Amino acid sequence: MPGSPVTDASPTIAGLLAAGTRPTMSFEFFPPRDDPGQQQLQQAIGELEPLHPDFVSVTYGATGSTRSRTIDATRMITARTGFRTMGHLTCVSQSEAEVRGAIESYAEVGIRHILAVRGDPPGGPTAPWHAHPHGLANATELVRLVKDTGDFCVGVAAFPDAHPDRSDVDLDARVLAEKEQAGAEFAITQLFFTADAYFRLVERVRALGCELPIVAGIQPVTNLAQIERFATFSGAELPAPMVERLHAVADDPAAVRSVGLEIATDLCDRLLAGGAPGLHFFTLNRSKATAEILANLRAIPPHA
């Protein structure tokens, strides 16, 4: 399932998904905070480049230097690899003018794709959300602003498990439909751990007439404490059989990693078999787990 080199005439991410010739495969990175982080990011990109992803994305820090690092990272990845690169954008702690400035910065470095998400409050995903006094209220407003500002292909977030500050999966589905009406062209899910959670999300939004392609976000499990922390922050439910398998080998980090990759491979296989249009791997700026899962998948017909 490799991608092709990207040119000015290449289709957008939405175009790739609409074509439906094969599932897309993509990677998420975060902007480095220091020189060692920069080296780690460059190493991960170099090691994953031979897999020819259909696109990559870079997460977003709200204001100041963190925002600049995101813009710099998108510029570096695009220049170094030619990947179809998507920058994230949030409403957190920013005025509308600052958000517009970030959109303009993306345009200046040649970024055609933006993932528009509300973002988590400074206190974490379960903290009360308070919009900036001169900012945007939610991701739907952000989508509309990005589409009104320039020629961007816009993606949004989706939640197979309930958004942690709402705990209402039906509301999540209605919000996703509203994002589509505002101009969103595809969605990428938050992390989740059961294929059924993904397929139930798809059923809910399709029942509302929402036709957004929903790419499955995949978090490889290589560290038990880390994945439990992510699940708490994201609201994702950790299935009991998965927890039991991991805790059974908790004293052996290598075994935890091996079991975790088996779980992720099985999840990806089930998602693709059920019609998921793509897989988006949260790499944490590392390459080995993602590369191993993809190698495992290619050994499973018909994913070769």
- Which pLDDT value is given to residue 58? 96
- Which pLDDT value is given to residue 183? 98
Query: Rounded to two decimals, what is the model's pTM?
Result: 0.92
- Which pLDDT value is given to residue 256? 92
Task: Catalytic residue, from 28, 98, 141, 180: name it.
Answer: 28
CA distance 135 to 157: 19
Preceding amide of 302 cis, omega within 30: yes
Q: How many residues does the chain have?
A: 304
Instruction: Determine whether 28 is an active site residue.
Output: yes
- Which pLDDT value is given to residue 6? 57
- Which pLDDT value is given to residue 233? 67
- Which pLDDT value is given to residue 107? 94
Helix count and strand count (H, E) for the chain: 11, 8
pLDDT tens-place values along the chain, 304 residues long: 555 555 556 899 999 999 989 999 999 999 998 889 999 999 999 999 999 999 999 998 654 556 788 989 999 999 999 999 999 999 888 899 999 999 999 999 999 999 999 987 676 666 777 778 888 989 999 999 999 999 999 999 999 987 767 778 999 999 999 999 999 999 999 999 999 999 999 999 999 999 999 999 999 888 878 777 777 666 677 788 888 898 899 899 999 999 999 999 999 999 999 999 999 999 999 999 999 999 999 998 887 6
- Which pLDDT value is given to residue 163? 73
Domains of the chain: residue spans and CATH: 13-298 (3.20.20.220)
176, 204 in Cβ contact below 8 A? Answer: no
> Each residue of 106-127: b (16+ CB within 10 Å) or e?
beeeebbbbbbbbbbbeeebee
295, 32 in Cβ contact below 8 A? Answer: no
Q: How many CB atoms lie within 10 A of CB 186?
A: 26
How is residue 113 written in tokens? Answer: 């794709």
